Structure 1
Amino acid sequence: MFVLLGLLVGALSLAVWWVHQLYTYWKRRGIPHDPPNFPFGNTVELQRTMQMSHILKRTYFKYKNQTDGPFVGFYVFAKKFIVITDIDFVKTVLIKDFEKFHDRGVYHNEKDDPLTSNLTAIEGEKWKNLRQKLTPTFTSGKMKTMFPTVLNVGDELVRVFDEKISSSPQTLEVTDLVARFTADVIGICAFGLECNSLRDPKAEFVRMGTSAITERRHGRLVNLLIFGAPKLSAKLGIKTLPQEIEEFYLSIVRETIDYRVRNKVTRNDFMDMLIDIKLKYDNGDKQNGLTFNEVAAQAFIFFLAGFETSSTTMGFALYELACNQDIQDKLRTEVDSVLKKHNGKLDYDSMREMTYLEKVIDETLRKHPVVGHLVRSATKDYVHSNPKYFIEANTGVLVPTLAIHHDPEFYPEPERFIPERFDEEQIQQRPQCTFLPFGDGPRNCIGIRFGRMQVVVGMALLIHNFRFELHPTKTTVPVKYNIKSFLLSSEGGINLNVSKIVKH
């Protein structure tokens, strides 16, 4: 009994010592930081009262210009991180010394949780090789090929809006409608499937897409382990995605590949390109090919990234245009004049003439970046010019995108919506890495062109055909963010008054 008690006391003492060592790391180093709380570190409010990007924004503004170094210490559960407070050091991590920070240090497990082994999560040489294989999928030539498909879904979006408002203005929850638009676009481009989400609010693609972002397989404590010790979690065979979601995407990819290969169907979409790479693997070219699970993982992340980020951006853009009617009028004038010049037709080339629309989208992404912070991991020790600020290998790195986008040093009056911030002269005056909605450097978002294309098409058609205004009671001003979401999104959607533009 006494031996058992002694062992228990010893184990408890060891655990207390380990926690103390862990949570005094930055203090021992003399690096500024907020005191951590066990077991959440500096994230006690996470998903309770605050969203992660807002916690990092608070840290950034508290310590920026208050420290002699480029970062401050931070703890996320049991893992040590730095939060960068100096814009030049953001450039160092994302671009200049990328080879020391090329991994995200997030969970992925090809064996037990195959869909997690995608381009956003995998590391090292494996990531580099996959990125090279997939880059040709996103050229401007490939976008041009897919444009008519995106436009067809855009025309359906207009028809659905038309039916919703019939003959009189209506209050609509716009984020749901544009999410169904992006689900249909990605469904047909990534899977070659007519999802009909715009016609069916309960469409499986939208439901599964939303679930994949919001639902987790385990509770808070296991999620804590997955985030704080991703490699250990993978070794233990812990899975993150609910079984239903995994089975849904794996079966859709399997059925799509089988059907196309068997019937020699080509559509010039993402899935065609992935099938070509898979066939190389099947034919023995393992260096340039991909396994079925790897193809499924990429199709899954294409869908997820293109579905959620694009629809959320469109929702925020419509909200800002409703708040700023003068900007909406200016944008409609541009869209109408470009369409008139091209006989009322939107095509790939005319889309690129809508320069003010591009600025409206960029200003939306500045004010409401859907991915509000970037995560990296030091892959080796990093030596800074100030020895005090060295970074140990495996230390997490957080780039507070939302904070940088709202820093008055780079964007005066950051709460105002001013598309002219993205006039070429103003862009040139800002330091590099002050605009990070898609990340930057070699690990930036591979699907930028596609994401922008579907947002431009959707926005151009909506603004050409409809006016968006605030509802006096149903529209939340300012936007209230969903604290439960990892991505920046609105709480309860965005309700706007929508009316038909009468063409003269």
Structure 2
Amino acid sequence: MWIYFVLAAALLPVYWFRDRYAYWQKRGVPHLPGRFPFGNLQNLNSQHLSALAKRQYEQLKSPGRKLGGIFFFINPVAMALELDFVRDVLIKDFQYFHDRGLYYNEKDDPLTAHLLSLEGAKWKYLRSKLTPTFTSGKMKMMFPTVTAVAERFQQSLGAEAGKMQEIEIKDFLARYTTDVIGTCAFGLECNSLQDPQAKFRVMGRKAFPQGLLTLLKIFFGLMFRDVARWFGMRVLNKDVSDFFMGAVRDTIEYRETNNVRRNDFMDLLIELKNGDPSQEDQSDRLTFNQTAAQAFLFFAAGFETSSTVMTFCLFELANNQTLQDKARQNVIDVLKKHGSMTYEAVHDMKYLENCIHESLRKYPPIVNVFRNVTKPYKVADTDIVLDKRCQVMIPVHAIHHDPAYYPDPERFDPDRFEPEQTALRHPMTFIPFGDGPRSCIGLRFGMMQARIGMAHLLLKFRFRLGARVSVPLEIDPSSLVLSPKGGMWLNVEKI
């Protein structure tokens, strides 16, 4: 009898795992077979997730097929294959897909409970309150601050270009965006352009740790959130969390004590923390931890993604001097027209904007977008029903590289984003910021600091590929955000 009991105990998990990996087969959904324990997350130590997802997308895609099945660990994930289905998930049927399903832990890792990861009513309330920070009017108010940092960036790069033949431009760009975000979010002079080891820059780097274990931890939290919370799993290192919590606390105390107003992101967060004194009900006020989490998100998302986009854009322009000359001439012509680098001027640099958009197409910083199914959902024009808590993955990088939408997708061609070309494509063929109610709230700000930074650089410098840069570019498999392996080394010549 004991032998039967032991055999049953040993075989039960085997049958359970086999049943999990039969999930899509039972539902008649075309899928890729999963293997224990990683499902379809194989070889992440040797290839970036973008390459893995692109290959899976190509294997599963078929005319008329809305989605295909894959597995992350033992959990089923629906990969969106058809653009109308992508639109349904992000926009049309948003009420079924309003949560990202990202891991956060308010108790043990409070800075992770920010707008990007929060769900349901908490997300809806915060989104409505934070949206006014990113209107075009607010961007116009922040424009002089960003321009002042860009001018210091221009001077710092000029000084460096006189000393070195090749410059690792990715780190330089991250220092620029760190100083921009630090000023706009915290009202602090981070000084990372002058000091590469400035505290904000060091902690910014540590906020994006690399390596296979980090990737697996993030995916584990994504797939097994309740278990991860039960174990008190942290995403951020404690010293990173302590530093940013301290920076927010000091900033709030200084502003409240000295009655300082800067009309920036931190001012709005302080208002949400303190609430409206004339109202009896103060239940909607942000706690200090919630305030700090939003400030951290603005900092982390703002400096890393924008610097990454500019890095890849400079790489492509350095690799094609004709396009670089065209972008530079666009900046010069617009400045002649407007007389100076104004808010209206940078928005009039249409070819430069096309270059940034083409960089976002070819190298989207966030390569996949996830949505949780919040209630059973029947996929339009099919018999497929997605269960509650099933994950849907939208393979942004794979869609951006689909030759059906972008002929010769590996070619960098800013003219793809001329209005007449854009009008011919399905709107879901270009989604680097997501779309719908949960699209990137900081889109305007990110584009503004990228435009300003690129305009200042092209005006004063010519960029050529350094000897340490390979073509085609090699992507770092250990990086969560799309990033060049070994950095981005460019020759920088003063004009």
TM over 0.5, shorter chain: yes
Residue 61 of structure 2 aligns to which amino acid in structure 1? K
CA distance in 1, matches of 2:452, 2:258: 32
Q: CA deviation at 1:340?
A: 2.5
Native 8 Å contact 1:217 1:240 kept in 2: no
Q: CA deviation at 1:229?
A: 0.8
Query: Is 2:359 the partner of 1:381?
Result: no
Alignment of 1:453-468 (within 5 A): 453-468=448-463
SS in 2 for 1:331: helix
C-alpha distance 221-419 of structure 1, shift in aligned 2 (>3 A): closer
Q: Once the 2 structures are TM-superposed, how far is the Cα of residue 500 of structure 1 from its aligned partner?
A: 0.5
The answer to which of 485-494 and 218-227 deviates more is: 218-227
Match of 1:314 in 2: 310
Aligned twin of 1:289: 285
Shift of 1:255: 0.7
Query: Aligned equivalents of 1:449 and 1:124: distance in 2?
Result: 24
Deviation at 1:224, TM superposition (A): 5.2
RMSD of aligned alpha carbons: 1.9
Compared with structure 1, are the counterparts of its residues 404 and 387 closer, same or farther at alpha carbon in structure 2 (3 Å cutoff)? closer
Q: How far, CA to CA, are the matches of 2:123 and 2:161 in structure 1?
A: 47
Listed as ranges, the matches of 1:220-299 within 5 Å are 223=218, 225-280=220-275, 285-299=281-295
Do the aligned partners of residues 219 and 53 (structure 1) sit closer, same or farther apart at CA in structure 2, a change above 3 Å counting? closer
Deviates more, 1:348-357 or 1:182-191: 348-357
TM superposition score normalised by structure 2: 0.96
Task: Please tell me whether the aligned partners of residues 40 and 76 of structure 1 are also in contact (alpha carbons under 8 angstroms).
Answer: yes
Partner of 1:423: 418
Q: Secondary structure at the match of 1:83?
A: strand
Q: Secondary structure at the match of 1:433?
A: helix
Per the TM alignment, residue 170 of structure 1 is displaced from its structure 2 partner at its CA by 1.9
Across the two proteins, how many residue pairs are aligned to each other?
Answer: 494
Are 2:70 and 1:88 aligned?
Answer: no
When normalised by structure 1's length, the TM-score is 0.94
SS at match of 2:429: coil
Change in CA separation of 1:360 and 1:394 when aligned onto 2, cut-off 3 Å: same
Structure 2 contact 211–479 (Cα < 8 Å) conserved: no
- Distance in 1 separating the partners of 2:308 and 2:223: 28
Deviations 1:255-278 (A, max 9, x none): 110111001111111111111111
Task: Give CA-to-partner distance per residue, 1:391-432, whole Å, 9 cap, x none.
Answer: 111111000101111111111111111111111111111012
Can you list the C-alpha shifts for 1:79-132, whole angstroms capped at 9, x where unaligned? Answer: 110111111110010111011011111111212211111000011111111100
Tell me, in whole angstroms, the C-alpha distance in 2 between the residues paired with 1:429 and 1:220: 37
Q: Any conservation in 1 of the 2:221–2:228 contact (CA below 8 Å)?
A: yes
Shift of 1:16: 1.2
Counterpart Cα distance in 2 of 1:221 and 1:157: 36
Residue 498 of structure 1 aligns to which amino acid in structure 2? V
Q: Which residue in the other structure is 2:327 paired with?
A: 331
Contact 2:373–2:392 (CA under 8 A) maintained in structure 1: yes
- CA deviation profile, 1:335-378 (whole Å, cap 9, x unmatched): 112222333x2121111111111111000000111111101111
Using the alignment, how far apart are the partners of 1:380 and 1:240 within structure 2? 28
Alignment-mate amino acid for residue 444 of structure 2 = R
> Of the candidates 473, 479, 482, which is equivalent to residue 473 of structure 2?
479
Are the counterparts in 1 of residues 67 and 82 from structure 2 also a CA contact under 8 Å? yes
SS of residue matched to 1:376: strand
Per the alignment, do residues 243 and 130 of structure 1 end up closer, same or farther by CA in structure 2, a change over 3 Å counting? Answer: same
CA gap of 1:216–1:482, structure 2 versus 1, over 3 A, is: closer
Does structure 1 residue 409 correspond to structure 2 residue 404?
yes
Counterpart AA for 2:97: F
AA matched with 2:30: P
Q: Is the 8 A contact 2:212 2:478 kept in 1?
A: no
Which residues in structure 2 correspond to 1:391-402 (within 5 Å)? Answer: 391-402=386-397
**Offset, 1:235:** 3.7
2:217 matches 1:207 = no
Unpaired runs of 5+ residues, structure 2, are none
Question: CA 1:383 to 1:458, structure 2 compared with 1: closer, same or farther past 3 Å?
Answer: same
Q: 1:216 to 1:477 in 2, by over 3 A?
A: closer
Does the 8 A contact of 2:373 with 2:387 survive in 1? yes
Whole-Å separation in 1 of the counterparts to 2:8 and 2:206: 43
Task: Look up the SS of the partner of 1:56 in the other structure.
Answer: helix
Moved more, 379-388 or 426-435: 379-388
CA-CA distance at 1:220 after TM superposition: 7.2
Q: Quick one: which of 183, 187, 191 aligns to 2:182?
A: 187
Q: 2:27 aligns with which of 17, 26, 29?
A: 29
Residues 247 and 18 (structure 1), Cα distance of their counterparts in 2 relative to 1, 3 Å cut: same
**Given residue 285 of structure 2, which amino acid in structure 1 is its aligned partner?**
G
Match of 1:495 among 486, 489, 492: 489
Instruction: Give 3-state SS (helix, strand or coil) of 1:213's partner.
Output: coil
Unaligned ranges ≥5, structure 1? none
Task: Give the conservation status (yes or no) of the 8 Å contact 2:367–2:482.
Answer: yes
* 1:102 to 2:98 alignment: yes
Query: Which residue of 2 is the match for residue 71 of structure 1?
Result: 67
Whichever residue aligns with residue 489 of structure 1, its letter is S
Going from structure 1 to structure 2, the CA distance change for 1:224 and 1:7 (only over 3 Å counts) comes to farther
In the alignment, the residues of structure 2 paired with residue 384 and residue 124 of structure 1 have an alpha-carbon distance, to the nearest angstrom, of: 22
**CA pair 147-285 structure 1, distance change in 2 beyond 3 A:** farther
- Once the two structures are superposed, residues 264-314 of structure 1 have per-residue CA deviations (whole angstroms, 9 ceiling, x without a partner) of 111111111111111107886535421111110000110011010000101
Q: Secondary structure at the match of 2:386?
A: coil
> Per the alignment, do residues 218 and 332 of structure 1 end up closer, same or farther by CA in structure 2, a change over 3 Å counting?
closer
Is 53-62 or 97-106 further displaced after alignment?
53-62
Q: Alignment partner of 2:423: what SS? A: helix
Match of residue 154 from structure 1:
150
* Aligned-pair CA distance for 1:217: 13
